[in-house]
A = this chain, B = another copy of it.
């Protein structure tokens, strides 16, 4: 398909598609004339993922490029890539290494993962983003004096462990080639985040109503 059709089918303007092509978020089309290129279903699919990351996930263009590079990394087998891509997804806030609460939080996060028996991907010296995000969150709770002991955190981890089974079922049910599944895993991780946060707030309001009455 030509650029105009890609734009129509994806709902993304041609100007934005050109921008994504320049920024390397979309692979170039197959050139058919000096000024025209032909795009395929893989462009449409990749465009959906880019929109999920940038528009819903609030991921920067530079970070989105890193995620896509990891997805396309031929040095990992595709099953490894699925977990690795999610685990390496960037996040907005980074841990403040200067903060003494960060070191305590890091130890607590490590103990929690050990207790759960969760390894977390290839061991490197670099803190994986998902772990960094957990450490930052625990440090913030600690610094502000809110409960965040291992016993407080564990039920959340157990519940999300159960939901991860459902997350992966959704990815497998989505089907497609291994490449498409890795893309879907990343997109569904990001796109379901606001679903989770919204449902949690509604569930809390409901539980509060049950517990304390009111309307």
Contacts and interface: CB of A to CB of B under 8 A. Distances in A.
Interface in A52-105: 52, 55-56, 58, 77, 79-80, 82-84, 86-87, 89, 91-93
A4 interface: no
Interface in A159-186: 159-168, 170, 173-174, 184-185
B121 A191 contact: no
Contacts of A195: 134, 137-138, 141, 148, 153, 156
A208 interface: yes
Interface stretch (A15-23, A24-32, A197-205): A197-205
Copies in the complex: 2
Nearest to A214: B80
Contact of A205 (B120, B136, B165, B198): B120
A136 B198 CA distance: 10
30 contacts: A11-B143, A48-B145, A82-B212, A83-B206, A83-B212, A83-B214, A86-B201, A113-B202, A119-B206, A120-B206, A121-B205, A122-B215, A131-B198, A133-B197, A134-B198, A134-B202, A137-B191, A137-B195, A141-B195, A156-B196, A160-B199, A161-B203, A164-B203, A164-B206, A165-B207, A168-B208, A189-B201, A189-B204, A196-B196, A197-B197
Interface of A: 11, 48, 51-52, 55-56, 58, 77, 79-80, 82-84, 86-87, 89, 91-93, 113, 116, 118-122, 129-131, 133-134, 136-138, 140-141, 143-148, 152-153, 155-157, 159-168, 170, 173-174, 184-185, 187-189, 191-209, 211-215
